[in-house]
């Protein structure tokens, strides 16, 4: 049985979903998994080779599968037994296209980790073309700003070994009691998802007298979220779900939604949107990021514009509108064999 060493330096959200799915799905491999908790970002992306210094299995793997949070170049330098092991680097996101909060300072270090890791890997996989293209453009742009001694064609070298392979989505069966006027938010309540735009659009719709209900899902931190507090205060009678429920309850609520909304400032694949659309919800998403790859123009509003967002939602709430688009190409069933081929080709 071929041994695969899976390294995930930031177990959170799609990283965890992906790692667990691979282990469940491909039992023909002997999985050895090392993961670090999804917190302390700056330390994780620079410190993971040190965190794993004495933790690697003694037996040499046939394939090294690492997420792009892993400092693969340093890891191989500190672990000589891994130097010639075929390596696949998987990008859930890239640091060139990740927005900063008001409390963060842009540092070149996370981006450089992903350049070195890309050069050290035999193959790069991305969960969307947007992710791949923004990474390669970011590499070229960053290196063009360096003062001297930059080899030519780094982005081209990386492009030659890059391809797109999304995380497989487990579809959700549409509920029999589907509520076409139930508007779903199923994202983290954090700055990069821009919940304040969603709330502004919902308040506009209420002012216009539009009939709708709200399911407010997604993780929220310990501190109050001003946008969420405003929505609770202004539209309490419209909220039918509010929380971050266990998986089965979450999928049950999602299965009933008629519309799912994104206001994200960054999205590299958008698993939560794809899940909801698989259950028959119509997406209302920015005309940017990964979404043009996934959804027709009629579901994409002007990014960052709450007026445009409200107008699109109101239109989809009108009688006789289109059905949800087909997202089967992102289903686990559709991508399974592509993943098997990717893993097998390097692990032989």
Q: Read out DSSP for 163-185?
A: EE-PPPB---PPPTT-EEEEEEE
Question: Is the separation of the CB atoms in 263 and 237 below 8 Å?
Answer: no
* Common-topology check for domains 2-168+332-347 and 179-329: yes
How do the domains of the chain map onto residue ranges? 2-168+332-347, 179-329
CB atoms inside a 10 Å sphere around CB 324: 20
Residue 107 has pLDDT above 80, yes or no: no
**Dihedral of alpha carbons 240, 242, 243, 244, sign:** positive
- Residue 105: other Cβ atoms inside 10 A: 5
pLDDT, one tens digit per residue, over 164-195 is: 999 999 999 999 999 999 999 999 999 899 99
Are 260 and 281 a contacting pair, CB within 8 Å?
Answer: yes
Topology classification of domain 2-168+332-347: Rossmann fold (3.40.50)
* Confidence (pLDDT) at 27: 95
Average pLDDT in the chain: 94
Rounded to two decimals, the pTM is 0.94
**CATH homologous superfamily for the domain 179-329:** Glycogen Phosphorylase B; (3.40.50.2000)
Closest CA to 198 of 210, 214, 211, 209: 214
Residue pair 125/166 in contact (Cβ under 8 Å)? The answer is no
- With 0-12 / 13-18 / 19 or more C-beta atoms within 10 angstroms meaning exposed / middle / buried, residue 139 is buried
Local confidence band at 306 (pLDDT 50, 70, 90 cut-offs): very high
Whether residue 30 contacts residue 2, with contact meaning beta carbons closer than 8 Å, is answered with yes
**DSSP structural state of residue 299:** G
């Amino acid at each position: 049985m071929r041994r695969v060493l899976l390294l995930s330096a930031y177990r959170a959200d799609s990283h965890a979903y992906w790692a667990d799915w691979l282990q469940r799905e491909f039992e023909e491999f002997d999985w050895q998994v090392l993961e670090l908790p999804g917190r302390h970002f700056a330390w994780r992306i620079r410190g993971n080779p040190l965190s794993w210094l004495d933790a690697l299995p003694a037996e040499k793997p046939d394939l090294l599968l690492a997420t792009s949070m892993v400092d693969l170049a340093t890891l191989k330098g500190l672990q000589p037994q891994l130097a010639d092991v075929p390596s696949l680097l998987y990008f859930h996101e890239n640091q060139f296209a990740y927005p900063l909060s008001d409390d963060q300072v842009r540092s070149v270090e996370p981006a450089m980790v992903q350049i070195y890791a890309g050069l050290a890997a035999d193959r790069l996989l991305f969960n969307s073309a947007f992710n791949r293209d923004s990474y390669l453009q970011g590499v070229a742009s960053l290196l063009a700003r360096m003062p001297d001694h930059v080899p030519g064609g780094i982005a081209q070298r990386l492009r030659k070994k890059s391809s797109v392979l999304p995380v497989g989505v487990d579809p959700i069966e549409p509920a029999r009691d589907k509520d076409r006027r139930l508007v779903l938010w199923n994202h983290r309540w954090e700055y990069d998802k821009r919940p304040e735009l969603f709330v502004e659009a919902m308040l506009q719709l209420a002012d216009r007298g539009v009939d709708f209900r709200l399911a407010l899902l997604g993780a929220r931190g310990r501190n109050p979220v001003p946008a969420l507090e405003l929505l609770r205060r202004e539209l309490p009678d419209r909220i039918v779900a509010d929380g971050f429920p266990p998986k089965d309850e979450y999928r049950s609520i999602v299965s009933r939604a008629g519309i799912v909304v994104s206001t994200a400032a960054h999205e590299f694949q958008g698993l939560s949107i794809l899940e909801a659309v698989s259950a028959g919800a119509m997406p209302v998403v920015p005309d940017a990021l990964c979404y043009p790859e996934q959804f027709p123009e009629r579901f994409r509003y002007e990014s960052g514009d709450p007026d445009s967002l409200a107008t699109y939602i109101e239109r989809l709430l009108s009688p006789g509108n289109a059905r949800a688009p087909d997202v089967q190409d992102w289903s686990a069933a559709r991508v399974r064999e592509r993943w098997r081929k990717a893993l097998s080709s390097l692990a032989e």
